[in-house]
């Protein structure tokens, strides 16, 4: 079967309908909505949010999940994610302002609870390739417990 290879960026911007495509080496037929469902089923952090992949959970509510990074770069290193799939900061919209604020504020609360109040911490959101994002599900890093250098590499 002939298939069209196309890169679909899962965003809220209009996506052209495709009849067949290959995402991540797997063939997908159907609508852009199917593509979004495929990403949500396959996305690492969506799977962690659904409990399909274990994590060292720190906090959870209806909207947010916080868990320790699997490869900590500091004595304190955790991630705060929205449970809803959002690719990255560039995909945030005005309607997400409250959610985005909650992510930052929850990171602050948890960093305080993990002993970072006095000396502080770094709160980082990498975005797309230039920003060094490796997992395409919005997440905020909180790093603390040691002196961090600047500027980043
Ligand atoms: P990014 O480079 O996208 O800003 O950060 C992704 C982070 O996710 C990295 O710090 C990486 O160590 C972490 N990470 C990747 N896979 C997993 C995983 O399966 N579990 C946890 N807890 N963290 C992960
Ligand atoms: Zn996701």
> Minimal CA–CA distance to 85: which of 38, 17, 123, 22?
38
Cis upstream peptide for 151 (omega within 30°) = yes
pLDDT for the residue 107: 99
DSSP state letter for 110: H
Nearest atom, ligand 1, residue 131 CA: 4
Mean pLDDT of 12-32: 51
pLDDT for the residue 41: 73
Quickly state the pLDDT bin for 48 (edges 50, 70, 90).
very high
Ligand 1 centroid, distance to 70 Cα (angstroms): 6
Parse the chain into domains and list their residue ranges.
1-41, 55-144
Ligand 1 centroid, distance to 148 Cα (angstroms): 19
Domain 55-144 in this protein, CATH class: alpha beta
For ligand 1, say whether the CB of 67 is within 6 Å of any of its atoms. Answer: yes
Nearest atom, ligand 1, residue 135 CA: 3
Q: For 53-111, how does the pLDDT look when each residue is reduced to its tens digit (9 = 90+)? A: 999 999 999 999 999 999 999 999 999 999 999 999 999 999 999 999 999 999 999 99
For ligand 1, say whether the CB of 133 is within 6 Å of any of its atoms. Answer: yes
- 46 Ramachandran zone, left/alpha/beta (phi>0; psi -120 to 50): alpha
Ligand 2 centroid, distance to 49 Cα (angstroms): 8
Checking if the pLDDT of 44 tops 70, the result is yes
What pTM value is reported for the model?
0.83
For ligand 1, say whether the CB of 69 is within 6 Å of any of its atoms. Answer: yes
């Amino acid at each position: 079967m002939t298939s069209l290879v196309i890169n679909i960026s899962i965003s809220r911007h209009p996506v052209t309908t495709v009849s067949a495509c290959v995402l991540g080496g797997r063939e997908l037929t159907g609508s852009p909505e199917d593509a979004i469902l495929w990403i949500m089923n396959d996305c690492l952090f969506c799977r962690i949010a659904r409990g399909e992949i274990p994590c060292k959970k720190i906090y959870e509510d209806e909207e947010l999940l916080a868990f320790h990074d699997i490869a900590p770069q500091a004595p304190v290193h955790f991630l705060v994610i929205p449970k809803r799939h959002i690719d990255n900061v560039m995909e945030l919209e005005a309607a997400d302002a409250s959610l985005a604020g909650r992510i930052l504020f929850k990171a602050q609360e948890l960093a305080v609870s993990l002993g970072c109040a006095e000396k502080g911490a770094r709160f980082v959101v990498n975005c797309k390739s230039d920003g060094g994002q490796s997992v395409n599900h919005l997440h905020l890093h909180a790093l603390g417990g040691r002196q961090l250098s600047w500027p980043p590499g």
